[in-house]
Structures are given as C-alpha cells and as structure tokens.
Structure 1
C-alpha cells in the first residue's frame, strides 16, 4: 500500500529521542521528574531513560483513552483499516532502526530483531483487514412481528501489559485487533524494554492514529498495573508474561469484572520419534530452544527422544549447540545474544547444578559465558528426568535437557504432566502417529515437524495455567468485541 501524501517517514527513532511517555497525543514526563534507566544487557551500557510514571499519570492516560473511544469506534471499519495499514507500512519502512533499537535494549541478535519487526507490521496488516469482517448475524425470527439481530461492538478501553522478551510484536499483536475493533488502548511496556513501545507510538502518531487512541505509560509495574486493573473505565485487560503475575492481574481485575486475556508461561515438550527426519529434528530443537537465548514462552523446555534415534540425535544436537555463535546481538553472525540482565543469567546456574546433582550429564555449556555477566553458555543436559527443575519449571534460558522415551503413550503422558499447556512440538514422518500424538497432547498449540508456530493468521494461546484467550487470526479479533443482541418488535 502506498502511504498517504501527508504521512512522512522521517521519524527519529533513536533512544535519545524516546525519552518521554506518550499520552493523549502528547510526549510527557513523569510528574515527579523521575526516570527509569534503560540498559543494553550485552554491554551494561546505559542507552536511554524513560519517565517513571505512577497511578496519577496512568489515570490521565485511561481518561484520554476513554474520551477518544466514542470517536474512534464511530469511524467505519474501513477508516480504521486505512490508519492501521499506514502504521504497518511505517514500521516496515523503519525496520532497520527499530531492529537496532530492539537489540540494544533487549539483547537478541539483529536477525531475530528484524524478524520481530516484520511480525509487528504483519499483525497490524492482518487486523487492518480482519476488522472489516467483524460480521454479525440475523437470526431467523421466532415470531412474525419481530426481528432478531446480533452485532459485534468494541469492548472499550483496553489495558495492555506487555513483556520484555518480544517488546514490539507483543504490542501490535494486541493493538492490531483492539484498534481494528474500535477499542482504544493504554499500553504498559516492561521497564526493561520501553523504547520499542515508544518507537511504535511515534510511528502510530505519524500514521494518523488519533490522540488518545494509543497511549504508552512507562515506569514500574506496581502502581501502573494497580491503576489499570482497578479502573472502571478499563473494560479489558490483556497481558503476556508469567503465570504468577497473570494470576495476580486476574484477581485484581475481578473487582470490575473486566474481560481478561492472559498469555502466560509454558513448559514446551519437544518430541523426536525414531522415524523423524534427523537433520530437521535437530535444527528444529536448536532453533526452538536457543532463539532469544531461550527466553520465550514457546521455547522448547524439555526434549524427549525415542530410543531408536537417541544416540544419533544427541551426537548431532550437541555438536550443533557447541557451534552456536554467542555474542553481542548487534554483531553480524551472532546466533545467541545476551539474556535480559545478569540476574537472569545467574539464575541458570542453579538449574544446571540441580540437574547434575540429580544425575544429569553435562554435555556442553553449563556456566557463565566469557562475553559478560548477562551471557550464559548454551547448555545441553543428557540423561535428564522429569523431576529436575530444568524440566518441571519454565527455564526461560539457554538450557536444553534431553530425555529418552520408549513409546507414544509414555511420551504423551509425560509431556502432559505439567500445569502448563501452551505449545508442544513433535517430529515424526508417520502421519497416523502424528495425528494421534497431536490430538493427545494437552496444549493450545502443537507444532508437528515445525518449530515456529507463531503467525498472525493462526490462533496463539494456551490451556491450563498457560492462559485464557487467543491472539492472532479472526479469533484474536473476538477478544476485543462484545456480542450485542438486538430484538426489534412491532414489525407485524
């Protein structure tokens, strides 16, 4: 799509230019003047700062979103679609600047950051069109003198609390359907990675998103989150993050009976059957496990390999992991960047120690990496078992425990023996087996012979303690609409 003539693309997206929050179409500081420092985890270097806002500033943002709601929802779906497509085009036009900013504040390799920026634009493009298809229904009447209709309307003001591991795409995956449906938003990004959110806000402003429709408040979670969950003006909360925090936000939102979408933790099994294509399974396991240094809710958490292929898989997998290029994500060719901070990296050692003490064999890695305190060496643990913390907990780091299994019933039972149910993976060339395993796994998403399940066209979400609701696809739009039944009498 060609940008409208009044939409300029010369936007300053440097960290220095993103030192204010974005509320009601204005760039603003915290009332207190306090700031939160933003640090490059790979180098420990300060790259910028953002306002440390609290409840009062959040309340202003909520009121601005509420005031903007009537005009935004009154616009046609086509008008909203045009604005969203402009926003998506601007994101695509500024892919390199956005990717560099993302890598600087989050640590992932530039190649992964570019892919995330592409996904950010794709979510907006998809929902720009999907919003034009928010169809209702005419119900065959039960009486000749009346008509029965169902229409879909926007929920209202949406609060979005987004994570540091995908600080750009997790915003547009929520903002796309919300704005397409006619909702307005207040976004609270992670204090670790607020710059990507502010860069999106700057592009939204340039694309013509009206004042108050998309707001970004920055600061620490407690005061901002408390205001978002307690406000009666906020009618929907959407959150991506840990199960522990998701449960707390759900409890806090109950007082005003908000609509809630929660995309929470995972404990993804990766199953390799003895008839799998070995090279594809190895590459899938490496990419799924070590993307973003293992800091993804969909990252493989435990690998189950059938007896007949175990030795060959382990030899190839360990060799591939040892060869991974680790370093500053801004350097070309790096495959595994830093973790989000030194504390996260240090926490990995206790998981390795627990596994080794319980009988696991350390095949590679296992400790801090020479690149700096926020780095942890890609690690493989052999002869692991389900009781080890690296298998029972969500690791959220570059540790891959590998275990044997004997038959399909056993591995499905072991894979399901978790409170989580976000995503599972399985590699097999037997399509009868594929179907049985896919249907038996208690997860919201299953990747069969594929390690990358996230796409704007398919529903993303989990079961059990991995969350409520779906993002992406037409089901993602449903999360931001209410069903209204209209009964019209006097038609006889």
Structure 2
C-alpha cells in the first residue's frame, strides 16, 4: 500500500467507557480529542492521507484544532471519476435484494458504532452528545427505509390497441455527485448515499470540510458492510474547484446538494451546462403562525425547545414567529423565559441544552442580525450577546416587535435567533409567511381545525407541521417550495431522483 494510505483502523472505531467522577471525566475529554480520527480521501476503495491540507478542523467549543483535511488534487478527482464510472457498471448489476441487505448491514454498523460517530459529530460540529446520538439513529432510518423502498421500485405495462406492449422500467441514472453541509454531517450524507446506492448508482460525495471525520466514519460503515470498491468515493478540497470538476465531467449524470440557496443556484447552473438533473434541498426561513386560541405558555415552551435545538442551525428551524396580538405578550414573555433558562456549554457536558455555534462566521452573522433589528426598533427579550471569551457561543436570543423590514425577517438566521412579530389576524400572518422566495418548513398553532386546514393549504412550504415542531422522517417526502429546492428526499419519492424511466415497446409477434 502506498505511503500515506490505509484504513482508519479498528482503534479509531472502538466504543468508549462511561466514566463518572471528575478526574475520570477530564481523562475522557482528553481521550476524545486525542482520538479524533485521521481524515482521508476515499478513492477506489483506498484511503489517502498524504495530500496538502485544504482545511484544519476546529472544535467550536474551545477553538482548538482537531486535525487537517487533505485536499484532492486534479489527479485525485480524475481517479475518483474513473472509479465511479467503473463502480456504477458493477453496482447497477447487483440484485436488489443484495443492495438492500448491504444497506441494512450498514445501518446495523451505525448502531454498533453510535458512540464513536456521535463523539466525532460533537467534536466537529459542537451539538450536544444526545443530539449527535439522535442524528446517528435518524440517519440509519434512511438506509433502512431505502432498503425496503428499492424493492418497491416497480415498472408497469402500458397496453395499446395494436400488437405492441409498452414496458416502462426504472433504471439507475448513473454516477452521482453529492455535496453536503456541516450542520447535519451524517444525516445529509445518509439521505444522498442511501438513495444513490439503493437505486443502483455509484456516488462521489464531497462533505463539508468543517465536519470531515463524520463522513469518513460513515463511509467506513459501508466498506465494512461489504460495498464493492469504487462505488463510493469521498473527496475534500476547494469547493468551487471540486464542484466544477465533478459536475462538468461527462461521467456524472446527476447532482444533489443540501446547502444554501446561493450555492444551490451555482451548482444548478453548472448542471444545466450538461443537461443534468439536480436534487436540491436548500435554505428556508421557517414561519410559525400562532393563532389567538392557543395556550401561549404551552406553545412558548415547545418553541424554546424547537428553536434552540442544535443552536438553531437547522434548515427547518422555526425562525419567524407571527403571533396573534391577543396572545402575543404572554407568548413572548414565556418564550424569552424559556430561552434564558437554557443551559449552554460544551456539547459533552452533562445537562447542557445547547452547544456552541459551528464557527465564528455564524456568531458574526447572528450578531449582525441582532444589531440591525435593534437599530430598527426591535426589543431584545432574551439573549442578544456572545457568551464567554473562548468558543463560538451565542446566547439563545428572542427578539420582540421586529419590524418587517429588519434583516432578521428576510435572512435565514441559521442560529439561535427567533424574531417575533404581532399580527392582527391569521391572514396577515399568512401574508408575511409567504412573502419570501423560500419555503422549506412552516408551523401552525391553533385549536381551530378548519383554520388549521385552511392555513396549511395556503402556506407555501414543502412541509407544514400543525400544533407541533416536527419534520418529515424517512417515510415521508422532504423538500422545498420556490427557491428552497428542487425534488424530494424520503418517502415513496426517495429513489425518484436517482432513477430514470425507460419505455420499451415490444411487438408480440414473430418477425
């Protein structure tokens, strides 16, 4: 094996013991950081580590460096494309039952390695360890669902009046280029790799350089489950260079991204140059419509838990709270009280409700939104400031009386910031909710079921939750309206973007 190449090693995947006293806890924290796995490129079944670093991973809790990320060279990307082409020809011929079995084995390995994977997620991204464990569990459900769904990817027969039968079959579209973000470093890759492999496609994935080891451990699960060489490649590097190289290559036949609207437009433009389809799950700015007939304290308690989960760094995070004036003041009071009560700290600390933001850029972005809103007349009901002198911590923030022209009402905060606005009626709330060019998730709270149905039908969002802050899982489609994306992930539609229909016209006669 060439120098600088090899596997992650069994020691990198070993489970950890639970320690109780303070000295043991300090030892455990040290071990976590020292055992951060080496990040590598995965090309044609081989791990490559000896490339110049394109990034250095930072622990957002204390700003310490965890390790370098090797950047793929142009030659590496060319090798990855060649491997993906060959891997596709191998994998597309693997029987459906065997593909399903591999996805199930991979999901089982994820459960076995939950502590190792969750630990790395918290080290890289900062979310609390319980949230990280939940991400591993949730991500495994995508594989389990697709393992069943791929065996329901039926064709059909279209009868004609003549001697022809028309057979419609679904075939894998070809090698896929996938791009995933840092906020859900396992969940987003899981959706895309699972869908690609279930459909019979090979895939090259470029995860976020901020959270690379999570993707490497995930890829290791597929390899250990028996995935053939060349079917999955993992590459890192300059985002513009990597995306342009992959998308413009004739090898790649489909592109998928979870990311910002701006990046989605750029990648879609590149894809259009090769007439390649895209699956885009992009940003949002989720409205919350709260009617006059609810218990404001109860809804506020739910809002505090939902808004500040993962420090608000979720594309479905509720952001614009459009509250009927009859319950506005008690809602804001309780919402702010709930935000102030949240415990913030290192994601590994016990009893912590919210970790740090993922990087310093997010802290600066939230600070700018708060300052703009305050300058325009908004009231800071809770938070509104950085916390501590080390790490990327920002207090859970509730803004009240936010003017509609404030940046916080137009720019997705992607952080622990909630903007509250009083409205005279629910039609006014609906108008504000639909006023943006994004529409990923929306939320409605009312005890009037007829009103709930009316608002849900009119809300321009890909998913709408009524009297809860849930979002679709593996068994339901997820995606956005307008600039929030193209296509759907999950549910009966989970393989649609990775397959293509072929019509075979067969004449039932001798020639």
In the aligned structure 2, how far is the partner of 1:65 from the partner of 1:283? 48
Q: In the TM superposition, what is the alpha-carbon distance from 1:141 to its structure 2 partner?
A: 2.0
Contact 1:327 1:371 in 2 (8 A): no
Greater alpha carbon shift after TM alignment, 261-270 vs 219-228: 219-228
Post-superposition offset of 1:97: 1.0
* CA contact 2:157–2:166 (8 Å) conserved in 1: yes
Deviation per CA, 1:467-487: give whole Å up to 9, x if none. 101011121211111000000
Displacement of 1:378: 0.9
Q: Does 1:451 align with 2:469?
A: yes
Give the Cα–Cα distance (whole angstroms) in 2 for the partners of residues 280 and 133 of structure 1. 42
1:74-113 alignment, distance < 5 Å: 74-113=93-132
Matched, 1:28 2:48: yes
Report how far residue 300 of structure 1 moved: 1.1
Say whether 1:309 aligns with 2:327: yes
Post-superposition Cα deviations, 1:175-233, rounded to whole Å, max 9, x if no partner, equal 11110110010000011111100000111110111111111112231211111111110
Q: 2:20 corresponds to which residue?
A: none
Question: For 2:448, which of 430, 455, 465 is the aligned residue?
Answer: 430
Partner in structure 2 of residue 48 of structure 1: 67
In structure 2, the CA distance between the partners of 1:93 and 1:373, relative to structure 1 (3 Å rule), is: closer
8 Å Cα contact 1:277-1:429 kept in structure 2: no
Consecutive unaligned residues in structure 2, runs of 5 or more:
1-8, 14-31
Tell me if structure 1 keeps the 8 A contact 2:319–2:418. Answer: yes
Q: 1:53-452 to 2 correspondence within 5 Å?
A: 53-143=72-162, 145-370=163-388, 372-452=390-470
C-alpha contact (below 8 Å) 2:323/2:429 kept by paired residues: no
Native 8 Å contact 2:289 2:426 kept in 1: no
**1:18 touches 1:199 (CA, 8 Å); kept in 2?**
no
Structure 1 residues not aligned, in runs of 5+: 1-8
Q: Any idea what SS the aligned residue of 1:479 has?
A: helix
CA distance in 2, matches of 1:429, 1:34: 55
Distance of 2:312 and 2:181 partners within structure 1: 15
CA contact (8 A) 1:345 1:373 kept: no
> CA contact under 8 A between 1:230 and 1:252: conserved in structure 2?
yes
- Contact 2:325/2:424, CA 8 A, preserved across alignment: yes
SS of structure 1 residue aligned to 2:166: strand
CA contact (8 A) 1:428 1:434 kept: yes
TM-score (norm 2): 0.92
Q: Is the 8 A contact 1:54 1:224 kept in 2?
A: no
Instruction: Pick closer, same or farther for the CA change 1:223–1:202 going to 2, 3 Å.
Output: same
Q: What is the alpha-carbon distance in structure 1 between the residues aligned to residue 462 and residue 497 of structure 2? A: 16
Whole-angstrom distance in 1 between the partners of 2:491 and 2:389: 40
Q: More deviation in 39-48 or 412-421?
A: 39-48
Report the secondary structure of 1:453's partner residue: coil
Q: Secondary structure at the match of 1:101?
A: helix
Measure, in 1, the Cα distance between the counterparts of 2:391 and 2:405. 29
Which residue in the other structure is 1:6 paired with? none
Q: Give, in angstroms, the shift of residue 49 of structure 1.
A: 2.1
Which residue is 2:506 aligned to?
Answer: 488
Give the Cα–Cα distance (whole angstroms) in 2 for the partners of residues 17 and 310 of structure 1: 49
Q: What is the CA-CA distance between 1:349 and the residue it aligns to? A: 1.4
Normalising to structure 1: TM-score of the pair? 0.95
User: Distance between the aligned counterparts of 1:180 and 1:259, measured in 2?
Assistant: 18
Q: Is the 8 A contact 1:191 1:220 kept in 2?
A: no
Query: Aligned pairs, how many?
Result: 482
Q: SS in structure 2 opposite 1:332?
A: coil
Deviation at 1:371, TM superposition (A): 6.0
Which one is further off, 97-106 or 308-317? 308-317
**Number of the residue aligned with 1:4:** none
Q: Distance in 1 between matches of 2:238 and 2:11?
A: 27
